[in-house]
């Protein structure tokens, strides 16, 4: 069944994509919620939160638009680099599903706000391999990464991802690492200047630094339905990611390098979660892993001779998703 769908025409997939998105987000339009506020929201997100917190329907509409944009950007990345060989909206459908699992987050939140920027960064990371003009691309990647850290503070650690990419793509010149660091810092220079202009520099500095490093291993009891979904989501996605990487072993060297980039993004996202207190915001932070897991599950769908086991794994994911949304929620 899944194989027939991934081989169907783009028009059919577009209809399915829009139908799923509208059905999953329809309750949010009927009973809109205020934007989500967390202690790790950066100053850029906080600015928009203050503007939209009293306009809940507008917040939901903007969030829905962000989900659609993120889904189509994911499709664009997969299609641009022919990661799995054919034009297909399956990655976009998965992105909608992953962003819609929790009814409390069917509104604007900081990770959703930052996610299109993360996708743009990933797109440019993929373009970086064997690029002719390396320094300008590194500048752009790191600059936009600085912007995302001002939206969601834990993303400050993703700068390590850029340095790792430079290593695995074999860009060893020291100036590239300096460019990455300076361009990442540039948005913060603008932010500090704004704080200085408004005479808030000490408060802004202390507030930001307080949330950059916040190890917290205290027991944080999630509801059972949250726990079951997140554990199942993680296990299924990791198995799928491993299967996709096995498929990538037969691909061109450029595809292998890009698949490694996805893995290192996953590891640095985990670092963000651990160093900023994974027990505090595990539900919000779960959205950081969407792109690697979409990569894995999409790869499984395009394995030429995949076993029935992989189809069963994806079926379990769908059962888990709809059970959480419509039975356990």
CA 294 to each of CA 51, 54, 75, 224, 314: distance values in angstroms, whole numbers, following the listed order: 32, 34, 10, 24, 12
- How high is the mean pLDDT of the chain? 80
Half-sphere exposure of 70 (CA within 13 A, CB side): 27
Helix, strand, or coil here: 41?
A: strand
Rg (CA), the chain: 20
- Taking residues 13-26, what's their average pLDDT? 91
- CB burial of residue 185 (10 Å; 0-12, 13-18, 19+): middle
Whole-angstrom distance, CA of residue 52 vs CA of residue 116: 19
Q: Is 199 left (phi over 0), alpha (psi -120 to 50) or beta?
A: left
Altogether, the residues listed in the chain come to a count of 329
- Residue 102: per-residue pLDDT: 80
The model's pTM is: 0.86
Confidence of residue 173 (pLDDT cuts 50, 70, 90): confident
Q: Are 255 and 248 in contact (CB under 8 A)?
A: yes
Task: Among 13-22, 138-147, 316-325, name the one with the lowest average pLDDT.
Answer: 316-325
Supply the DSSP string of 186-204, one letter for each residue. Answer: HHHHHHHHHHHHTT-HHHH
Please tell me which residue, 246 or 80, carries the higher pLDDT value.
80
Please tell me which residue, 258 or 92, carries the higher pLDDT value.
92
Which tens digits make up the pLDDT trace of 209-222? 655 555 454 555 56
What ranges do the domains of the chain cover? 2-328
Rounded to a whole number of angstroms, the distance between the first and last alpha carbons of the chain is 28
pLDDT for residue 58 is more than 90: yes
- Residue 225: per-residue pLDDT: 66
- Taking residues 260-266, what's their average pLDDT? 85
Q: In which element (H, E) is residue 250 found?
A: none
Q: Are 208 and 166 in contact (CB under 8 A)?
A: no
Cβ-Cβ contacts under 8 Å for 5 (sequence gap 6 or more): 13, 16, 90
Please tell me which residue, 84 or 128, carries the higher pLDDT value.
128
Which one of 32-36, 103-107, 157-161, 208-212 scores highest in mean pLDDT? Answer: 32-36
- Residue 130: per-residue pLDDT: 77
Whole-angstrom distance, CA of residue 177 vs CA of residue 194: 27
- Residue 209: per-residue pLDDT: 60
Taking the CA atoms of residue 226, residue 71, residue 122 and residue 243 in that order, the dihedral angle to the nearest 10 degrees is 60
Evaluated on CA atoms 152, 154, 156, 161, the torsion sign reads: negative
């Amino acid at each position: 069944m899944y194989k027939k769908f991934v081989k169907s025409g783009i028009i059919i997939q577009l209809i399915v994509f829009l139908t799923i998105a509208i059905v999953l987000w329809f309750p949010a339009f009927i009973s809109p919620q205020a934007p989500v506020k967390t202690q790790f929201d950066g100053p850029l997100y906080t600015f928009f939160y203050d503007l939209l917190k009293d306009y809940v329907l507008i917040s939901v509409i903007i969030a829905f638009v962000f989900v659609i944009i993120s889904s189509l950007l994911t499709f664009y990345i997969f299609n641009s680099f022919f990661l799995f060989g054919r034009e297909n909206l399956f990655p976009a459908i998965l992105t909608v599903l992953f962003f819609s699992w929790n009814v409390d987050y069917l509104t604007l939140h900081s990770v959703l706000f930052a996610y299109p920027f993360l996708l743009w960064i990933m797109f440019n990371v993929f373009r970086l391999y064997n690029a002719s003009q390396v320094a300008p691309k590194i500048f752009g990647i790191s600059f936009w990464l600085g912007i995302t850290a001002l939206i969601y503070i834990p993303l400050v650690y993703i700068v390590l991802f850029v340095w790792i990419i430079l290593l695995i793509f074999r860009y060893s010149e020291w100036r590239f690492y300096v460019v990455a660091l300076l361009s990442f810092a540039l948005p913060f220079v603008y932010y500090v200047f704004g704080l200085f202009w408004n005479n808030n520099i000490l408060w802004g500095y202390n507030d930001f630094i307080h949330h950059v490093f916040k190890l917290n291993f205290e027991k944080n009891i999630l509801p059972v339905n949250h726990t079951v979904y997140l554990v199942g989501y993680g296990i299924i996605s990791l198995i799928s990611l491993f299967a996709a990487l096995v498929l990538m072993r037969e691909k061109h060297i450029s595809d292998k390098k890009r698949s490694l980039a996805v893995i290192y993004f996953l590891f640095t996202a985990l670092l963000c979660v651990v160093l900023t207190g994974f027990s505090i915001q595990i539900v919000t932070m779960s959205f950081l892993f969407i792109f690697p897991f979409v990569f894995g599950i999409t790869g499984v769908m395009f394995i030429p001779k995949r076993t029935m086991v992989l189809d069963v794994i994806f079926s379990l994911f769908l059962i888990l998703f709809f059970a959480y949304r419509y039975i356990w929620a």
